[in-house]
């Protein structure tokens, strides 16, 4: 990891540009480290000012590389990156006016919190009173106003992370990049900080590009999420759309819990795909990422969209036979594992209510869902 120094900050180059719709833009961006393998492949992305966008994906999918190109610590091998309509390919990191927060927040241990924040301003020859005002403001933003005199070692992990955030905010950069900033914190603190970061970003109206491999974090914080896999954005959408309308099997599997049934497309017409499951059963689905009969498909169904109470089956619901393998009472919901069309890992979630039957292993039941909740995706 690079240690961020004062020289890597700079005046926002765009302080007075009129608001263009697209603030951050990637156009056909590629990156190769070795001149052969593309770790980022044809990346296209456009963000408006004030957006909180998260890059979510498994390790090695190209998230950090993308962030580093935006920050200017790596150069794109192909394509254009623009900030406020201006191409920044040849602008060095410290002139891009971008604040950064990393997982390992590298505060200077021998300096107080206030000195950590003030130092980069001092290097830029900012006057003492202006410096003090900016440091105070940044510390207040993260509710650490009383901690300016402490050294980093005297702070908890969460407090240090807030200081790292304040350091990224002290320049009043319009754009802040965060790479797994909460990765080192325990679960409770992480959840608290997710909320804090989102609140601060909203209050300041800054634009944030946030990187994580944690889907819950991505869903709770973001205006939009770019799901990365294999150097490509697999889908870019608001959290609810990603969960409810995944466009391919990778996204369906990566976001939330998901059931898949495998089969072959028999027919596509009138917004419906007729799928023959591998055990011979025919079901109607929504054709999402399939094109023609004969093609293999993975059908995706969310656990909470499956119903087994006869009185609750909606009109038009498709029904299938299932065997109960496991029934777990979880208080607010029942979580049931079923064997469906040869799949022993078919999970359904049912909200606990007085009229909902509690199932027992070995029981044969009928389950159903609406064709629209059953998405025919790539195999």
Ligand X SMILES: Nc1ncnc2c1ncn2[C@@H]1O[C@H](COP(=O)(O)OP(=O)(O)O)[C@@H](O)[C@H]1O
Minimum distance between the CB of residue 81 and ligand X, rounded to whole angstroms?
15
65 binds ligand X (CB under 6 A): yes
Q: CB nearer to ligand X: give 43 or 193.
A: 43
C-alpha dihedral (76, 79, 83, 85), degrees to nearest 10: 160
Which x/- pattern, by CB under 6 A, does the window 30-59 give for ligand X? Answer: ---x-----x-----------------x-x
Taking the least distance from each CB to Mg ion, the nearer of 59 and 203 is: 59
Interacting partner of 61 out of ligand X, Mg ion, none (Cβ under 5 to 8 A depending on kind): ligand X
β-bridge partners, 225 = 54, 237
* Residue 188 binds which entry of ligand X, Mg ion, none, CB below 5-8 Å type-dependent: none
> Do 221 and 194 meet the contact criterion of CB atoms below 8 Å apart?
yes
Interacting partner of 108 out of Mg ion, ligand X, none (Cβ under 5 to 8 A depending on kind): none
**Rounded-to-integer distance, Cα 374 and Cα 22, Å:** 35
Check binding of 118 to Mg ion (CB under 5 A).
no
**Nearest distance in Å: CB 254, ligand X:** 13
Give whichever of 64 and 159 is closer to Mg ion, judged by the CB atom.
64
Tell me, what DSSP letter sits at residue 61?
S
- Cα torsion angle, 305, 309, 312, 313, sign: positive
State the nearest-atom distance from the C-beta of 241 to ligand X, in Å: 22
For ligand X, which residue of 24, 45, 52, 63 counts as binding (CB under 6 A)?
Answer: 63
Q: Is 307 helix (H, G, I), strand (E, B) or coil?
A: strand
Whether 80 and 28 have beta carbons less than 8 Å apart is answered as: yes
**Minimum CB distance to ligand X smaller for 33 or for 195:** 33
Q: Mapping DSSP to helix (H, G, I), strand (E, B) and coil, where does residue 199 land?
A: helix
* CB of residue 28 to ligand X, shortest distance in Å: 18
Q: How far is the CB of 239 from ligand X (least distance, A)?
A: 19
Q: Looking at beta carbons only, is 63 or 224 nearer to ligand X?
A: 63
**Among residues 181, 210, 198, which one has the least CA distance to residue 142?**
198
Q: Minimum CB separation from Mg ion for residue 180, in Å?
A: 6
CB nearer to ligand X: pick between 64 and 161: 64
Q: Which of 54, 64, 66, 259 binds Mg ion (CB under 5 A)?
A: 64
- Binds 300: which of Mg ion, ligand X, none (CB < 5-8 Å by kind): none
Q: How far apart are CA 328 and CA 70, in angstroms?
A: 46
CB 98, min distance to ligand X, A:
17
The rounded distance, in Å, linking the Cα atoms of 40 and 233 is: 9
Residues 196-225 that bind ligand X (CB under 6 A): none
Residue 7, sorted as left (phi over 0), alpha (psi -120 to 50) or beta, turns out to be alpha
Out of 54, 61, 248, 249, which residue is the one contacting ligand X (CB under 6 A)?
61
Whole-angstrom distance, CA of residue 127 vs CA of residue 92: 25
Q: Could you tell me if 296 and 263 are in contact, meaning their C-beta atoms sit under 8 angstroms apart?
A: yes
> Which one of ligand X, Mg ion, none interacts with residue 145, CB within 5 to 8 A by kind?
none
Binding to ligand X (CB under 6 A) within 316-375 occurs at none
* Helix then strand then coil, % of the chain, to nearest 5: 30, 35, 40
Distances (CA, A) of 262 to 206, 249, 301, 342: 44, 11, 12, 10
Q: Rounding to the nearest 10 degrees, give the CA dihedral for residues 348, 352, 358, 360.
A: 40
Binding status of residue 62 toward ligand X by CB under 6 A: yes
Residue with smaller CB distance to Mg ion, 53 or 324? 53
Taking the complex as a whole, the smallest distance from the CB of residue 162 to ligand X amounts, in Å, to 23
Binding interface with Mg ion (CB under 5 A): 64
Residues engaged in binding ligand X (CB under 6 A):
33, 39, 57, 59-65
């Amino acid at each position: 990891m690079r240690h961020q120094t004062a020289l890597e900050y700079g005046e926002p180059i765009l302080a007075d540009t009129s608001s263009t719709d697209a603030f951050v833009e990637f156009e056909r961006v590629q990156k190769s480290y070795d001149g052969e393998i593309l770790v980022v492949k044809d990346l296209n992305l456009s963000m408006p000012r004030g957006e909180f966008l998260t890059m979510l994906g498994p390790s090695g999918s190209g998230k950090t590389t993308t962030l580093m190109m935006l920050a200017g610590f790596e150069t794109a091998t192909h394509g254009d990156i623009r900030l406020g309509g201006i191409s920044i390919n040849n602008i060095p990191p410290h002139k891009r006016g971008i604040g950064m927060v990393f997982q390992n927040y590298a505060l200077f241990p021998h300096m107080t919190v206030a000195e950590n924040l003030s130092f980069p301003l001092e290097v830029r020859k900012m006057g003492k009173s202006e410096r003090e005002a900016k440091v105070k403001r940044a510390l207040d933003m993260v509710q650490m106003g009383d901690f300016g005199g402490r050294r980093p070692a005297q702070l908890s992990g969460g407090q240090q992370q807030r200081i790292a955030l304040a350091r990224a905010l002290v320049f009043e950069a319009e754009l802040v990049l965060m790479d797994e900033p909460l990765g080192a914190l325990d679960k409770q603190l992480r959840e608290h900080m997710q909320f804090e970061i989102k609140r601060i970003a909203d209050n300041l109206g800054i634009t944030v590009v946030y990187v994580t491999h944690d889907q819950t974090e991505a869903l709770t914080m973001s205006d939009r999420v770019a799901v990365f896999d294999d150097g490509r954005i697999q889908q870019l959408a608001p959290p609810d759309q990603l969960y409810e309308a995944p466009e391919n099997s990778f996204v369906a599997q990566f976001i939330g819990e998901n059931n898949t049934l495998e089969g072959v497309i028999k027919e596509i017409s009138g917004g419906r795909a007729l799928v023959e499951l591998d055990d011979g059963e025919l079901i109607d689905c929504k054709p999402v990422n399939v094109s023609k009969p004969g093609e293999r498909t993975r059908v995706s169904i969310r656990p909470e969209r499956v119903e087994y109470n006869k009185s609750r089956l909606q009109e038009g619901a498709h029904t299938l036979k299932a065997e109960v393998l496991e029934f777990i009472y979880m208080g607010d919901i029942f979580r049931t594992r079923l064997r469906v069309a040869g799949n022993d890992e078919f999970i359904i979630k049912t909200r606990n209510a007085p009229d909902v039957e509690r199932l027992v292993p070995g029981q044969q039941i009928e389950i159903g869902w609406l064709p629209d909740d059953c998405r025919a995706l790539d195999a």
